[in-house]
Structure 1
């Protein structure tokens, strides 16, 4: 099997203005990586390189040059890839400074090793026998827009909602939580909120105290990353369980991962393979979190269905019953048509539905 890598750019168009505390998304650049078997060109693996502006450490001006040069190096090495040497090759081919590139190559290679069928892992999910529970994501916007999304998700039979907070008036955000709690108890609807580091250290404790009255499942990243002492002190007294998200970005060494979680002692961590350097890095985080009795779930990071498919199949390798953050497949007008379906608050893989790669010219 002779393998060659090609890449190309695709501009994803949002169906609505997707608001976060870091700004509003209307479109998103992504890159697809195609790894072909030169002896059988019909067999190819697809990976997605999709860094997030303002968040990914590799959203840099020369990223396209990095992708191109990595493909050239990969081609020149004439490698043979096996499950046992995949992580060795990735660690030597791609620097940890480019986590989204590593994720793209890792998943494309797993795909081609499995016959180029968009099957990254053979498991109950990819066989269509098991669905993954997911949270319904409520994007930031006006109070009316957010309430509209809440109603839609509740009608879609989601039993876990995640609200982006920190950009509009805090009182309006609390009123949305109150609206949900007036209709549904914590036993009926689980509520997560994601501040994306929007709270200052000075105000965080007071805001968490007020949020605590709504029986929340958790809050993601209440203060900005890089303040471990402040985060640890906040978590120690918080009435709301805290999940680390941005705090994990850029931490690639196993020993540093262990030190971070031991120091901060969060209740949960959020794993985004594109931002953390791929699936192997996520495995390390899961192993450490499990050892320290810290909960975890996996979240997509605005990838198209190519990246989402790989992340979902990876997630299904574990028997984690917490709702995952994998409901982003319907965000774009020009997404890749895939077998991924959101139904009754779950993500499932419909084996009767074919992939349609026309949207990306394949």
Structure 2
């Protein structure tokens, strides 16, 4: 029995204008994959092809054309009988230069492999027996808007806050950080910032010197990627620990990954499975980070709950330390209803809730 692939495009609408240093996001495109074995249409797995404009390696791809081609090549393929064989199949069927499709196909096949019940990995998270601690994400915007987000996250009991910085006046951003620290010292609240490459290379060390007074846990991607010598110098000189994010996108070969971390020597790497090429690729990054004594955490990349559920279950398979970046499921007003929920500062899989695929129509 071959595999039948269907898909549908789903445009996610943000509840607010989501500001980053690359611009304001109002909508987010995704293609939801549905895969089943021939003759067994009622048992299917779901996956998500998720991209972010000007960030994803493959955001400009004609996905519908490539997914139509993939439908044809999967027709004569049997469902693998082990998880490693699933990863091998995806590696064979999809180019490494299509990380979003690899993530979507991996996810759909893992779901189908486990019986089509939205389960991809067998761990306590899926059964609702444990949650994953996450950071509270503060989006860029006017100072008053950012302050209101901060106050709300602190009220809800988050012990780790992450601010996106680099889009408004730097002095105003420092005032917000000072406001947080005036109420919550470092031993009470973990404070992360994410510049998304916004700082000018010639000015970055001076800005990092100012940021150091706020006892930051880390700063993500202070300068634009593909400047290895500059980034290496930043990691060496900065009093604020440096986390690489966009720097990892488009690096697919294992030896290139090793060379990157050995040349730059970051304190942390941020792992987004849908941008890196799926779970096999992300697991390889984790293996390399551990071997080089580099910290890491996993974040979602604005996927719908289909992709977010998969990433949460993958993350829960590790003995992770610290707060993950998996709190984006509540950003959209037309997300796919799921058992994922935020309880305190944890994302959980609430088995008393159900999935609702709504009006998704596959072709």
> What are the equivalent positions in structure 2 for 1:158-307 lying under 5 Å apart?
158-307=158-307
Deviation at 1:321, TM superposition (A): 2.1
1:354 aligns with 2:354: yes
| TM-score for both structures, normalised by structure 1 | 0.98
| SS of structure 2 residue aligned to 1:233 | helix
| SS of structure 2 residue aligned to 1:171 | helix
Over the aligned positions, Cα root-mean-square deviation in angstroms equals 1.1
Deviation at 1:359, TM superposition (A): 4.6
Q: Distance in 1 between matches of 2:223 and 2:208?
A: 11
Cα offsets for 1:237-282 (capped at 9, x unmatched): 1010000000000111111111111111100000000100000000
Unaligned 5+ segments in structure 2 are none
Q: Distance in 1 between matches of 2:73 and 2:37?
A: 16
Deviation at 1:127, TM superposition (A): 1.1
Deviation at 1:360, TM superposition (A): 2.6
| SS of structure 1 residue aligned to 2:224 | coil
| SS of structure 1 residue aligned to 2:203 | helix
Unaligned 5+ segments in structure 1 are none
Cα offsets for 1:6-33 (capped at 9, x unmatched): 1110111110000000110111111000
Partner of 1:78: 77
Q: Distance in 1 between matches of 2:190 and 2:241?
A: 13
Q: How many residues align?
A: 361
Cα offsets for 1:51-98 (capped at 9, x unmatched): 1100011111522211221222122x3333122311221111101111
CA contact (8 A) 1:133 1:321 kept: no
Cα offsets for 1:207-247 (capped at 9, x unmatched): 00000000000000000000111101111010100000000
1:69 aligns with 2:69: yes
Q: Distance in 1 between matches of 2:114 and 2:3?
A: 14
Q: Distance in 2 between matches of 1:9 and 1:79?
A: 26
Deviation at 1:47, TM superposition (A): 0.2
Partner of 2:154: 154
> What are the equivalent positions in structure 2 for 1:33-112 lying under 5 Å apart?
33-75=33-75, 77-82=76-81, 83-112=83-112
| SS of structure 2 residue aligned to 1:301 | coil
Give every structure 1 segment of 4 or more consecutive aligned residues whose post-TM-superposition deviation is greater than 6 Å.
none
CA contact (8 A) 1:163 1:193 kept: yes
CA contact (8 A) 2:297 2:323 kept: yes
Q: Which moved more, 1:33-42 or 1:148-157?
A: 33-42
Deviation at 1:361, TM superposition (A): 4.4
| TM-score for both structures, normalised by structure 2 | 0.98
Q: Distance in 2 between matches of 1:8 and 1:99?
A: 18
